[in-house]
């Protein structure tokens, strides 16, 4: 089974002609059966807010939730193990409506570029898995050391043993500053593929406006067809392949996602009713 989604729901105005407002979750879920949210990465929302999301989507809709940055050792908040454990409990409470309604696809744990393949960091992975026992987890590594052949084989075995989805990332190929695209099945339930685009200059850009360029990329039909062939080769090895388009600095994610959907010849059922398009008189 293939599922396709985008990062966030509000930014994708190209889905509805002449729309004059950010998309609502109800409008977004008329087109896609899943969404990736980074809300939890920056702060943990109230459980009532999370429960409200479920009133806007169909019963089969699923959420990919990005783990809080303190869980993945991003800068900005250094916690003791006791403090971290307490925060994880708050996180678990916040996502409880999603769990109760079977609306949580996976928790995306995206580790920072400096989180390299060391014994200390492997020990931390084991600690995090224990703290999040019973929850569906996906690990994304952004340091190239995890993809050295011998280490990568051990990583595959580690993720398989713990039923962790090893995220496959498509991003610009810029040597040691990037990670290779390696879709490998480590969890028979789910393979998560995240597409950031291939804008080499934008990926390395710094400064206050870096977000405008980092994922500024429009996948060509040729590139999407090659991805389709890769997906076809994997489809019999896993229950679900979920593809998330994150190349939205220029608003290309939605149309790229719809193009891939057409290439895969898949239909998403039990979506919300599509809103009527506004007429353009001028």
**Residue 186 covered by a domain:** yes
Q: How many domains does the chain have?
A: 1
Dihedrals φ, ψ of 92, to 5°? -60, -40
Cα–Cα distance measured from residue 33 to residue 160, given in angstroms and rounded to the nearest whole number: 26
Contact between 104 and 132 (Cβ < 8 Å): no
Residue 241's beta-bridge partner residues?
A: 2, 191
Return the H-helix or E-strand segment holding 35.
strand 34-37
Q: What pLDDT was estimated at residue 234?
A: 97
**Residue 53 covered by a domain:** yes
pTM: 0.94
**Residue 155 covered by a domain:** yes
Contact between 218 and 251 (Cβ < 8 Å): no
Longest dimension (CA), the chain: 63
**Residue 273 covered by a domain:** no
**Residue 209 covered by a domain:** yes
**Residue 95 covered by a domain:** yes
Cα–Cα distance measured from residue 22 to residue 150, given in angstroms and rounded to the nearest whole number: 46
Instruction: Please report, for the domain that includes residue 49, its CATH number.
Output: 3.20.20.410
Alpha-carbon dihedral sign for residues 1, 171, 26, 19: negative
Q: How is residue 118 annotated by DSSP?
A: -
Q: 69 in helix, strand or coil?
A: coil
Q: What pLDDT was estimated at residue 280?
A: 55
Cα–Cα distance measured from residue 90 to residue 205, given in angstroms and rounded to the nearest whole number: 35
**Tally: H helices and E strands in the chain:** 10, 9
Cα–Cα distance measured from residue 272 to residue 32, given in angstroms and rounded to the nearest whole number: 9
Q: What pLDDT was estimated at residue 190?
A: 98
Residue 131: burial class (beta carbons within 10 Å; 0-12, 13-18, 19+): middle
**Residue 282 covered by a domain:** no
pLDDT along the chain (282 residues), means of 10: 96 86 94 96 96 96 97 88 94 98 98 96 98 97 95 98 98 85 97 93 74 82 97 96 94 95 94 72 48
Q: How is residue 186 annotated by DSSP?
A: S
**Residue 97 covered by a domain:** yes
Residue-range definition of the domain harbouring residue 20: 2-264
CA nearest to 33, candidates 61, 71, 65: 61
């Amino acid at each position: 089974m293939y599922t396709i989604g985008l990062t966030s729901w509000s930014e994708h105005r190209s889905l509805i002609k002449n729309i004059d407002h950010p998309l609502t979750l109800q409008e977004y879920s008329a087109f896609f059966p899943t969404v990736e949210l980074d809300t939890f990465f920056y702060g943990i929302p109230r459980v009532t807010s999370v429960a409200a999301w479920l009133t806007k989507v169909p019963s089969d809709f699923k959420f990919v939730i990005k783990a809080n940055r303190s869980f993945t050792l991003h800068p900005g908040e250094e916690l003791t193990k006791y403090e971290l454990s307490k925060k994880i409990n708050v996180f678990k409470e916040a996502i409880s409506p999603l769990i109760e309604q079977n609306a949580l696809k996976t928790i995306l744990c995206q580790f920072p570029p400096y989180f390299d393949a060391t014994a200390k960091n492997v020990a931390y992975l084991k600690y995090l898995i224990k703290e999040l026992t019973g929850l569906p987890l996906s690990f994304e590594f952004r340091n190239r050391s995890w993809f050295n052949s011998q280490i990568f084989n051990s990583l595959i075995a580690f993720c398989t043993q713990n039923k962790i989805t090893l995220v496959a990332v498509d991003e610009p190929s810029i040597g040691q500053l990037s990670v290779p695209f390696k879709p490998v099945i480590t969890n028979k339930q789910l393979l998560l593929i995240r597409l950031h685009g291939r804008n080499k200059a934008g990926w390395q850009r710094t400064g206050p406006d870096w977000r405008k360029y980092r994922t500024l990329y429009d996948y060509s039909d040729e590139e999407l067809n090659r991805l389709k062939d890769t997906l076809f080769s994997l489809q019999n090895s896993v229950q679900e392949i979920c593809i998330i388009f994150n190349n939205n600095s220029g608003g290309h994610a939605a149309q790229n996602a719809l193009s891939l959907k057409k290439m895969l010849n898949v239909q998403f059922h039990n979506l919300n009713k599509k809103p009527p398009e506004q007429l353009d008189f001028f």
